[in-house]
Structure 1
């Protein structure tokens, strides 16, 4: 068997791992590169995989850095199945169509205002490409082994990261290979905890927070503090948010504060078509999360769900105090840019960062204390206050990653660390070697790893 990483190695984006066994080729995840320009350019490079020989794609979960390259794969000729969990299928439909729409809109805007070096600028893929991709999705239940061919079986187990997220287990002629995808917290906010696994011959584990421990502070107290501070200035609180999981978590905490009568009397909006659709999917899969019916009803009554453009524009132009949750989470695109265009240069407003910000993203620039932010082809001075809540993280920290690994009854032959910036992956490697005594290595882009 041979494993090659074409993304998610030395970086937290663009996850793609090709597993080859005899004449079978399986791609685990097919993510979009985000963040640094040098990474985003890789989205335009030809993937060094013969798509005629690729037998199957299996997805760990529906985040863009794990599924966002699929329409390129399909556009370039991939016609076979894409396996995932049922909730991942529903979320992937929403996310891929939204991503394609943004790709088309960005290209259109670049051509209109001539701020692209490409004349004309083209989208990486189109809505039509995304629709074709959706037709190739095939979903499966958790906790059950399914055959791929006479030699290979696969199984999904809950990983606790987002709705529908799963560890991918492959049994190839008796050898077990586990792909963690992204691992959630030991005590997630809205989801059941990740499943433990007894045995594996090889493990591929993420390392997004492989070098740190999450602080334990009460989220509602921090959230309320920033809401009240912004409200006292007569400002608007903008929360750039990932549409899946993070948006629902924020709405949940806001609903708790509302139930306790602690919130100011101001409107709260989720202005994200993808976020609205993802929230509806969330409420559909009651067996995949831990929300009660009371929780769901309270969330529905706390926030105004905004999808249509006309309403969104009127909210952008209304400068009265409010809370706006808008995509995208790393401020790489989406409706949040329209709010920032109007509000970022006014010191009475606030921006609250509630998720991981990859290197090279606008969100990382805000956290780094940059004085201006470039979008829509121009620079905007940053005068709004910028705050951060780390405790929202949906990624396991170092102690939680070790907790998951420690439940294997025997050490795998090899543990491969991926999906982390270099210092994070190296820190986790050292910790695994010293704490567990396991043989492990950090994945490198385009390197081939032979699994005996």
Structure 2
């Protein structure tokens, strides 16, 4: 076993920034790291409906790096179609992933029903990719493991989760299968996260799989944090409009509310009503607050949000009232790329009015509504109809908790010794290619951008 070949197959997250799925296999074992949904362009989203490349029942173990949908969102399909083992992750990831999967399943069912009633689907009848029942079956298989502990999987295989500092519970995975030691970065956080404890130094491994979401970019620190956001709020309130903030329910909503708390406290914006219109985000906020009590956040972060005018929109009726608020306000709603969820309904009603403003707060994958708005689209399609874009569009890139190109290279440099090979994944083609070039030049090891479905030997 120790000298047998071990292969790594890039089942997802190659050639695109979503759908992360990496399979390690020997003659005796298959280990899957991440099991994410494809998002963004239709050519990628269609792959969610393809049969999994290997029979799910032949996979021995699944481990998650973190809770975001593009890393965990295919799990209900994998379990429904035959996977019967444990799904290992940290405690923080388990709490948040359960929220993410339940929300995703609800949206799948709801969108299929809306498409059926609205008649805009090309399928008859339109079906969800998976159901709430499928999601619950996947959640039943969760098994939590602590950071920095070697977990014996049997058969000369083990794994270790190392703090990645991206979102609560996020980890890099050191997987040992036979003679191979492969380190999968997952999504890496910045050197300092606004509210989380910092990422750890990576352990030794001969093979590294590293993300490249921001592989061709550097974060620039402005003279005043979130100045563009604060300016946009002031302008919009003066003209009697609504500030709509599409925000990822997990981590991004928490950071947005934390920043708004600071703006109000420092007098940068008036204390207008702030509505959180995402049951998922409200549930995630509770998880973060419990993590603060447990010491998982940075010192002094036990109270993330201090907004006296904060309101929760939990019911569909409360959400619908925010389509035409009676006074200027700020509405924070998922999803962050405006690809689904309640924010789509708000965009439909608020985009045509020039008084309103949409503040984009994070990475916008190619093909999403968020990227179209960022790039100046004059109309966007939603629910089968085109909606004019007259509202002001503002982008605040300071919320990103993805490591930039230099921080990714620095993470590799912190390894005890340079790896023998680095595979650059989870990025748009330009970003992945740029990062691979820097790794060759600055780390001094081979760096390859693999193709989707490509298999390489790693022992």
Asked if these proteins are the same fold (TM beyond 0.5), I'd say: yes
Match of 2:317 among 310, 319, 324: 310
What do the CA deviations read for 1:330-383 (whole angstroms, capped 9, x no partner)?
A: 111111111112110001100000010101100011011111010111000000
Counterpart check, 1:69 vs 2:74: yes
Match of 2:337 in 1: 330
How far apart are 1:302 and its partner, in Å?
5.2
In structure 2, distance between residues paired with 1:170 and 1:6: 17
- Give the 3-state SS of the residue equivalent to 2:346 in structure 1: helix
Contiguous gaps of at least 5 residues in structure 2:
1-5
Match of 1:6 among 2, 11, 16: 11
How far apart are 1:101 and its partner, in Å?
0.5
How far apart are 1:318 and its partner, in Å?
1.8
Counterpart check, 1:158 vs 2:163: yes
Q: Is the CA contact 1:82–1:138 (under 8 Å) kept in the aligned structure 2?
A: yes
Match of 2:129 in 1: 124
How far apart are 1:185 and its partner, in Å?
0.6
Match of 2:3 in 1: none
Counterpart check, 1:138 vs 2:146: no
- Give the 3-state SS of the residue equivalent to 1:270 in structure 2: strand
In structure 2, distance between residues paired with 1:295 and 1:262: 20
Note closer, same or farther for the CA distance 1:107–1:199 as it changes in structure 2 (3 Å cut): same
- Give the 3-state SS of the residue equivalent to 1:181 in structure 2: coil
Counterpart check, 1:292 vs 2:303: no
The count of residues paired between Structure 1 and Structure 2 equals 451
Match of 2:287 in 1: 281
How far apart are 1:212 and its partner, in Å?
1.1
In structure 1, distance between residues paired with 2:134 and 2:434: 39
Q: Is the CA contact 2:153–2:159 (under 8 Å) kept in the aligned structure 1?
A: yes
Higher mean C-alpha displacement, 352-361 vs 198-207: 198-207
Higher mean C-alpha displacement, 273-282 vs 318-327: 318-327
Match of 1:242 among 238, 242, 248: 248
What do the CA deviations read for 1:145-202 (whole angstroms, capped 9, x no partner)?
A: 1111141111111101000000011133454210000001111111122111241111
Counterpart check, 1:200 vs 2:208: no
Q: Is the CA contact 2:55–2:82 (under 8 Å) kept in the aligned structure 1?
A: no
Note closer, same or farther for the CA distance 1:294–1:201 as it changes in structure 2 (3 Å cut): closer
- Give the 3-state SS of the residue equivalent to 1:57 in structure 2: strand
Contiguous gaps of at least 5 residues in structure 1:
none
How far apart are 1:294 and its partner, in Å?
6.1
Match of 2:221 in 1: 216
Match of 1:428 among 414, 435, 449: 435
Match of 1:251 in 2: 257
Match of 1:370 among 374, 377, 381: 377
How far apart are 1:301 and its partner, in Å?
3.9
Match of 1:400 among 391, 399, 407: 407
Q: Is the CA contact 1:276–1:306 (under 8 Å) kept in the aligned structure 2?
A: no
What do the CA deviations read for 1:426-449 (whole angstroms, capped 9, x no partner)?
A: 101110111121112112111101
Q: Is the CA contact 1:269–1:303 (under 8 Å) kept in the aligned structure 2?
A: yes
How far apart are 1:314 and its partner, in Å?
2.1
How far apart are 1:254 and its partner, in Å?
0.9
Match of 2:362 in 1: 355
Note closer, same or farther for the CA distance 1:172–1:48 as it changes in structure 2 (3 Å cut): closer
TM-score (norm 2): 0.96
How far apart are 1:109 and its partner, in Å?
0.6
How far apart are 1:306 and its partner, in Å?
2.2
Q: CA RMSD in A?
A: 1.4
- Give the 3-state SS of the residue equivalent to 2:397 in structure 1: coil
Counterpart check, 1:229 vs 2:235: yes
- Give the 3-state SS of the residue equivalent to 2:40 in structure 1: coil
Q: Is the CA contact 1:254–1:302 (under 8 Å) kept in the aligned structure 2?
A: no
Aligned residue runs from structure 1 range 38-117, under 5 A = 38-117=43-122
In structure 1, distance between residues paired with 2:322 and 2:370: 22
Q: Is the CA contact 2:226–2:398 (under 8 Å) kept in the aligned structure 1?
A: no
Q: Is the CA contact 2:24–2:177 (under 8 Å) kept in the aligned structure 1?
A: no
- Give the 3-state SS of the residue equivalent to 2:399 in structure 1: coil
Match of 1:267 in 2: 273
Match of 2:181 in 1: 176
